[in-house]
Structure 1
Amino acid sequence: MKAHVIGAGLAGLSAAIELARGGAKVRLSDSARRAGGRCRSYHDATIDRLIDNGNHFVFSGNQAVNRFLATIGTADRLEGPPHADFAFHDIQSGERWTLRVNASPLPWWVLDPRRRTPGTTLGQHLALGKLALSRRGPATIGDVMPTSGLFWDRVVDPMMLAVLNCPPASGSAWLAGRFLRESFARGGRACRTMVAMPTLDAVFIDPALAWLRLRGTEPHFTCRARALRFDGEQVTGIDYGDGWEEVARGEAVVLAVPPWVAADLVPDLTVPTEFCSILNVHYAVDPPAGAPPITALIGATAQWVVCHGDRISITISGADELIDQDRDDLARRIWADIRATLPVAETMPPWQIVKEKRATFAATPEQDARRPGAKTRWRNLFLAGDWTQTGLPATIEGAIRSGVTAAGLARALRVV
């Protein structure tokens, strides 16, 4: 039994692990020099730190993530608060507060003004219940609830911008609702915000590769799939640039590559065509003692301030308007936001900006409708990636879930 997994990001690694668990011999390849895709870590010489390309959050209740990490032996390396507490700072007014979600699914926290966002009401929070019940279709968040006022500015907009990575008012109500149902609707035990410590590579990537190597899979890097050969209902060959590699009958191919690459390889494949960027800045300075691990900023250039052991990092979602601005100016503006939030020195430390111009598909109803499922019209070809129809926005949970889905379909069809 053999399976070809093209792409070694989290979707591809997830598919490879599931296939190997089922007894398949897996050939794993990636066009890059290393695994991880958009979830990668590296030593940055500018700030002399080992950093992640971005602050990739997961929730404590992410079932696919938890199963993946349990399999590769790193389930204990996600760090986060003991309770679902979310620290906020309004830069303009100076107000600070902590949104505190109770552990059980019964959301009694919304009844307590001390646990809610200041100035918001119970009735406004009930609107999130309506959003959570949204069905798949053309409705946007703006069609379901008001997009102005304190509740929008302090609750819905920052939350959904981080989740959807596109302007929330035009974001898919269905995807927003799916996120709410899998997180806040399940209570605080499911929505603690977790971060890979010390790095993404150490938690997600390197242990996954080690697990696969122990089972006979040695990944092939700088190995780009240039074309697929189709014959009837089957993929029968893969061109890696040095001739065709045969795909025998009974062998599966899992294509876990970005959507624009998949569209080049698979005839008539409909994929998302609009994307949104994410910008991250890393500052080489130790966080002050007692600082919250994560703080959401309102009315600032920065959106999320994350305190790591040896650096302070910020994330800006939906950063299309900032992505091409002057780097030095951005670093100074963002450092000013950090200074307004944390007791740090006025002098800006060494910094590095990391940009992902096509970080995620634009999570609008129109683009969501373009997401293909894992099945294709070729019996042995399956798709994986957070851009496929996972029923979630583009998240780590969705990427890992897509790999599991693709591998499961391959096994169910007795391809491997």
Structure 2
Amino acid sequence: YWDPVVAEYVDYGVHVVMRCCEAFRGFLKRIGESDAVSFAPSLSIPLWCGGRRHLLRSSPLPGPLHLLPSLLHDLPLTWSQRLSAMRAGAALWSASPGTLADVTFDVWLSHHRQDAQTRAVLWHPVVIATLNAPASRVSAAAAQKVFLDGVLQRRGAGLGFFQRPLSRISASAVSYIEAHGGTASLRSAVHKIVVQQGQVRGLRLTTGEFLEADTIISAVPPKDLASLLPRTAAMEVALPAQQALKGSPIVNVHLWLDRPVLDEVLWIAADAPIQTAFDVTRLRPPSGTARYHHLAISQSAASEWLKSSDAQIVDRCLHALAPLAPRVASAHLVHARVIRHPQATFIPAPGVDRHRPRPVCGIRGLYLAGDWTATGWPSTLEGAVRSGILAAGRATASSSEMADGVDVTPML
């Protein structure tokens, strides 16, 4: 959105992409936005714990060993805790995902003798940042996905940051559609998906206009999908997922100060009231004639924060920043925005994958997409793109009018 007070475009939150998100990177390449995300050459995350700064960083060692020097020398753990963490990491690496699907990650960590300090320093910050829920609520399988595909892969663990507002990237996607013969109808709200005799017939817009179509890909959340479908179809297609997938909130706090206050573009706090801080001004070039320094706080699994007023949240952030970024005390707060996402992502709880539907549902011509569908990934940009690829693949394969050369393989 455009913020007139500071005269710049602001994303609702700071999105971070890991290099392992290959489908999303392929999507950016396809729409001409390959340079929209800038990746760090290797993983390097400052971690505040016990009032001291530590560093979780990659080394030249291959595979899961790339974090070994950091584990042994940089993190505030005893030698016993480090050895225990290495054993747990090896067990997570070799475990079959099927054995992890019905147990929480916290229970799994207990079985592998990870004490409170090791969890707080090593396991919990990664889980909350990537899955938007504490280890006590996510399945061990979901946590394994994050660590095996991302954190424990030397190349896959690299973090990428957007270099321009997401609205510009969305505009490029629209341009791509139009350049390939499609039409993007923005601000055209759908009232109902019209279904007759088990086959989709089109869309009824809120304006009353009817758009005829025998193939529809829906990328809306299950609650919205249920409201668009006839009651019987909604109970079969959308309600099971709606009931099983519980949402988790994220609160983003944007602060504009009259001077820089962070020494790094990003850090994570393991034991502070705030979780993650970003120096947005240093992460990407300002989108307008920026006069102030933009700092963003991202709070995952933020149910308690939803109960507070904007002023209380801003005050909480400034007080929490003081011991971690002392220059905050002398900085002047020019402007602040609090953005709440009550249902930002779904919680990948034990057993929840059984309720995530595949693209083909019980209605002919209707295909399901969205990060809540069965993608094999948690609720992420990567999962969203993969869902679209899967749905498009099934839709084109089922269409008698499929054009030659349509490419619906993963966009890598």
| Bucket of the pairwise TM-score, normalised by the shorter protein | 0.7 to 0.9
Asked if 1:64 corresponds to 2:16, the answer is no
Equivalent of 1:211, from 173, 176, 185? 176
Relative to structure 1, the CA distance from residue 324 to residue 46 in structure 2 (aligned partners, 3 Å threshold; closer, same or farther) is: farther
Equivalent of 1:139, from 81, 97, 103? 103
Task: Give yes or no for contact 2:151–2:157 (8 Å, CA) kept in 1.
Answer: yes
Q: Distance in 2 between matches of 1:212 and 1:283?
A: 36
Q: Distance in 2 between matches of 1:197 and 1:377?
A: 41
Equivalent of 1:252, from 201, 211, 215? 215
Relative to structure 1, the CA distance from residue 157 to residue 239 in structure 2 (aligned partners, 3 Å threshold; closer, same or farther) is: same
- Tell me the CA shift for residue 161 of structure 1: 0.9
Q: Distance in 2 between matches of 1:271 and 1:101?
A: 38
Task: Give yes or no for contact 2:261–2:325 (8 Å, CA) kept in 1.
Answer: no
Q: Distance in 1 between matches of 2:386 and 2:61?
A: 25
Counterpart position of 2:390: 405
- Tell me the CA shift for residue 407 of structure 1: 0.6
Task: Give yes or no for contact 1:58–1:193 (8 Å, CA) kept in 2.
Answer: yes
Unaligned runs of 5+ in 2: 282-292, 403-412
Q: Distance in 2 between matches of 1:209 and 1:115?
A: 48
AA partner of residue 254 (structure 1)? I
RMSD of aligned Cα (Å)? 2.3
Equivalent of 2:118, from 147, 151, 173? 151
Asked if 1:329 corresponds to 2:312, the answer is yes
Counterpart position of 2:135: 168
Task: Deviation per CA, 1:29-49: give whole Å up to 9, x if none.
Answer: xxxxxxxxxxxxx11235443
Relative to structure 1, the CA distance from residue 89 to residue 271 in structure 2 (aligned partners, 3 Å threshold; closer, same or farther) is: same
Equivalent of 2:195, from 230, 233, 257? 230
> What secondary structure is seen at the aligned counterpart in 2 of 1:121?
helix
- Tell me the CA shift for residue 184 of structure 1: 2.4
Task: Give yes or no for contact 1:131–1:144 (8 Å, CA) kept in 2.
Answer: no
- Tell me the CA shift for residue 397 of structure 1: 0.6
> What secondary structure is seen at the aligned counterpart in 1 of 2:242?
coil
Counterpart position of 2:86: 125
Relative to structure 1, the CA distance from residue 111 to residue 182 in structure 2 (aligned partners, 3 Å threshold; closer, same or farther) is: closer
- Tell me the CA shift for residue 246 of structure 1: 4.9
- Tell me the CA shift for residue 94 of structure 1: 1.3
Q: Distance in 2 between matches of 1:165 and 1:247?
A: 39
Which gives a bigger RCO, structure 1 or 2 (Cα 8 Å, sep 6+)? 1
Counterpart position of 2:269: 297
Counterpart position of 1:108: 65
Asked if 1:281 corresponds to 2:253, the answer is yes
Task: Deviation per CA, 1:367-395: give whole Å up to 9, x if none.
Answer: 44322121111231111111111111111
AA partner of residue 321 (structure 2)? I
Task: State the identity %.
Answer: 25
Counterpart position of 2:284: none
> What secondary structure is seen at the aligned counterpart in 1 of 2:181?
coil
Q: Distance in 2 between matches of 1:403 and 1:163?
A: 21
TM normalised by structure 2 equals 0.83
- Tell me the CA shift for residue 366 of structure 1: 4.4
Relative to structure 1, the CA distance from residue 324 to residue 289 in structure 2 (aligned partners, 3 Å threshold; closer, same or farther) is: closer
TM normalised by structure 1 equals 0.82
> What secondary structure is seen at the aligned counterpart in 2 of 1:162?
helix
Relative to structure 1, the CA distance from residue 289 to residue 148 in structure 2 (aligned partners, 3 Å threshold; closer, same or farther) is: same
Q: Distance in 1 between matches of 2:370 and 2:223?
A: 12
- Tell me the CA shift for residue 291 of structure 1: 2.4
Bigger proportion of residues as helix? 2
> What secondary structure is seen at the aligned counterpart in 2 of 1:352?
strand
